[in-house]
Amino acid sequence: MLDGLLVPMFTAFNSDESVAFDETASHAEWLVKAGVNGLVPFGTFGEGASLSLSEKIKLTDAVLRVSQGAKVVPSLICNSFGEIAEYLEYANATKIDGVMVMPPGYFRPGDDLSLRKFFERVTEISSKPVIAYNFPAMSLTIAPKVLSGLKIWGVKDSSGSIESAKAYLDSNIKLLIGSDVLLVDAMTWGAAGGICGIANFFPRKMQLIHDLCKIGKIDEAKS
């Protein structure tokens, strides 16, 4: 299961803009020790669109070494399907728990049929659970009907709209909310958890909010 409080962890860089692998792994280890349920390397918080395929592979290996049982769900933000396919083929042989995939967003607007075919191809290649990444500000809007019936785990919704989140849940699509301020509301409506950027700074507090929601202590979570 990919539910829980997952952190779209930062990627650290050196002054020459090369990836600081050891520092990134140290941050991942600190988050794990703080008790978060999982890590999402190189998402939007982690400069995923800026990293090469080889850097993503090396970072995945580094994060897995320190994950200590926390879920590891790398994010793919790529305009090249070939790059996505190459990463998925590598990932199939690793111990990652899933993969989050944003559809290519260079050509806009897209259409629902093309998006559905995209995710069908992703699920055909990946032996790991797939989370669709809905982030309209950065890519294409993924309507619930695009995902209905596909062999995906669910969706991360970073639209910033609770109505969008509800639409996925109403379509029986598992949801991880990507807007930190909507975590409590989304879990109240049935979300499986969140992928919350502010947890990079306050992992224990965000994990506590999640845990309180999970046991129904909504007022405490809100406070």
pTM for this structure?
Answer: 0.96
Tell me what percent of the residues of the chain surpass a pLDDT of 90. 96
Please identify which residue in the block is written with the tokens 């619930």. Answer: 144
Q: How far apart are CA 142 and CA 119, in angstroms?
A: 10
Tell me what the mean pLDDT of segment 115-123 comes to. 97
Tell me what the mean pLDDT of segment 145-170 comes to. 97
pLDDT per residue over 174-203, tens digit each? 999 999 999 999 999 999 999 999 999 999
Q: Residue 1: what pLDDT? A: 85
Q: Residue 65: what pLDDT? A: 97
Q: Residue 122: what pLDDT? A: 98
φ, ψ for residue 50 (rounded to 5)? Answer: -95, -10
Q: Residue 121: what pLDDT? A: 97
With cut-offs at 50, 70 and 90, classify the pLDDT of residue 108. confident
Q: Residue 107: what pLDDT? A: 75
Q: Residue 114: what pLDDT? A: 93
Strands (E), 49-206: 71-72, 75-77, 99-102, 130-134, 154-157, 175-177, 193-195
pLDDT per residue over 70-102, tens digit each? 999 999 999 999 999 999 999 999 999 999 999
pLDDT per residue over 2-54, tens digit each? 999 999 999 999 999 999 999 999 999 999 999 999 999 999 999 999 999 99
Burial class (CB in 10 A: 0-12, 13-18, 19+), 189: middle
Q: How far apart are CA 161 and CA 49, in angstroms?
A: 23
Residue 150's nearest CA partner among 177, 111, 121, 175 is 121
Q: Residue 159: what pLDDT? A: 97
Q: Residue 109: what pLDDT? A: 78
Tell me what the mean pLDDT of segment 150-157 comes to. 97
The answer to whether 87 touches 60, Cβ cutoff 8 Å, is: no
Q: Residue 139: what pLDDT? A: 92
With cut-offs at 50, 70 and 90, classify the pLDDT of residue 106. confident
